[in-house]
C-alpha cells in the first residue's frame, strides 16, 4: 500500500523521518514515499487532501479537520522559543504596530501567533528562506522568521524584536504549538493506527541513533554547521515530538481557542487526535 508522506525540506523533519526514508523499519504492507515542499505549500495542498500524511501548520488544521486527523506524534513545539520578528533596527515591540512585516504564509502558525501578539500590521507574503534578505534590503520593515533563521539571524546583522514562543509562554505558561503531522481520514482507522505507530517508531529510532540520523539530516540543514544543526533539531524533535502529552494537547486547543476569540479563525475547532 503506497503512502505519500509530505514534509518540509528541513533538518528537523529529515531527522524525524530518517528511519522511514532509509528503510530502517519493517513497515509491513506500507510503502512510504517522501515529498519535500515548504510548509505553506503543504498547508495549501492539505486543503484539497492531496497527501495521505502531511506536515501542516496548526493554523492550517482549522481548515482541514474534516479531511485529516492529528497524529499523536510528530509535533514541533517551541518551549519558550519559536518564530521571531527581526528587523534592521532594535525597535521596541510596540513599534511593530502598522509596520510592513514579511511573513512565510497566511496559513502558518507563525502568522497566527503574530496576529495574536500584534493584530495591526501589513503582511507581505514572502518565501521563508528569502525573508531575512528582504529585511536586510529594506523592502519590508521587519520579518517573521521560522526554521533555522531563529538561530542565524544575528549573523545577518538583524535584531530580534520579539520571540513569539517566549511571548506565548508568558501569557499561557504553555509551549507554542507550531506544526504537526496529520493523516487522511479516508484511510480507515486500522491503517491509520498502524501508520501512527510507524511514525512514532521512526522518531524514536532517530532519537536512539542520533548521530546516524543527524548525518542524514545535514543535507537539509541549509548551510548550518553540525553543532548548530544538532541544536536546531533538538529544539523541534524531542520527547514532546514522540507524544504531545497532556500539556502539548492543551497547548494546541489553547491556540485554537484564542484564535477564535480574536476572530482570526472563522469557527471553533476541537483538536482531534488518533488514539493509539
Q: Could you identify the residue written with the cell 502539548?
A: 248
Looking at the chain, which runs of residues are DSSP E strands?
2-7, 31-36, 53-57, 68-70, 76-78, 84-87, 100-103, 122-125, 142-145, 159-163, 176-184
Q: How far is CA 267 from CA 19, 22, 224, in A?
A: 37, 40, 40
Q: Are 210 and 87 in contact, with CB atoms under 8 Å apart?
A: no
CB atoms within 10 A of CB 180: 28
CB atoms within 10 A of CB 48: 9
C-alpha cell at 172: 499561557
List beta partners, residue 76: 179
Active-site residue (options: 31, 147, 159, 209): 147
Q: What is the DSSP letter of 185?
A: G
Residue ranges in 2-117 assigned as alpha helix (H) = 11-16, 18-21, 39-46, 58-64, 109-117
Looking at 185-230, which runs of residues are DSSP E strands?
none
List beta partners, residue 179: 57, 76
- Distance between CA atoms of residues 273 and 183, nearest Å: 10
End-to-end CA distance of the chain: 21
- 209 tagged catalytic: no
Q: Could you identify the residue written with the cell 506500507?
A: 30
Report the catalytic residues.
Answer: 147
Amino acid at each position: 500500500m503506497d503512502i505519500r508522506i509530505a514534509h518540509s525540506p528541513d533538518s528537523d523533519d529529515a531527522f524525524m523521518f530518517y528511519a522511514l526514508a532509509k528503510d530502517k523499519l519493517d513497515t509491513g504492507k506500507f510503502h512510504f514515499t517522501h515529498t519535500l515542499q515548504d510548509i505553506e505549500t503543504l498547508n495549501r495542498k492539505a486543503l484539497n487532501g492531496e497527501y495521505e500524511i502531511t506536515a501542516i501548520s496548526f493554523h492550517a488544521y482549522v481548515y482541514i479537520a474534516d479531511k485529516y486527523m492529528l497524529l499523536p506524534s510528530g509535533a514541533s513545539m517551541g518551549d519558550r522559543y519559536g518564530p521571531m520578528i527581526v528587523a534592521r533596527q532594535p525597535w521596541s515591540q510596540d513599534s511593530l504596530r502598522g509596520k510592513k512585516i514579511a511573513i512565510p504564509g497566511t496559513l502558518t502558525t507563525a502568522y497566527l501567533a503574530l496576529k495574536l501578539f500584534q493584530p495591526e500590521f501589513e503582511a507581505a507574503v514572502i518565501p521563508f528562506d528569502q525573508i531575512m534578505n528582504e529585511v536586510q534590503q529594506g523592502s519590508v520593515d521587519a520579518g517573521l522568521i521560522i526554521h533555522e533563521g531563529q538561530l542565524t539571524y544575528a549573523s545577518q546583522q538583524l535584531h530580534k524584536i520579539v520571540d513569539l514562543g517566549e511571548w506565548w509562554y508568558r501569557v499561557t505558561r504553555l509551549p507554542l504549538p507550531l506544526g504537526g503531522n496529520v493523516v487522511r481520514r479516508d484511510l480507515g482507522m486500522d491503517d491509520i493506527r498502524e501508520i501512527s505507530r510507524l511514525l512514532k517508531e521512526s522518531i524514536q529510532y532517530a532519537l536512539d541513533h542520533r548521530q546516524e540520523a543527524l548525518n542524514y539530516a545535514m543535507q537539509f540543514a541549509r548551510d548550518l554547521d553540525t553543532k548548530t544543526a544538532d541544536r536546531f533539531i533538538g529544539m523541534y524533535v524531542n520527547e514532546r515530538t514522540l507524544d504531545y502529552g497532556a500539556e502539548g494537547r492543551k497547548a494546541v486547543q489553547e491556540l485554537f481557542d484564542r484564535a477564535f476569540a480574536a476572530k482570526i479563525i472563522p469557527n471553533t475547532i476541537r483538536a482531534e487526535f488518533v488514539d493509539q
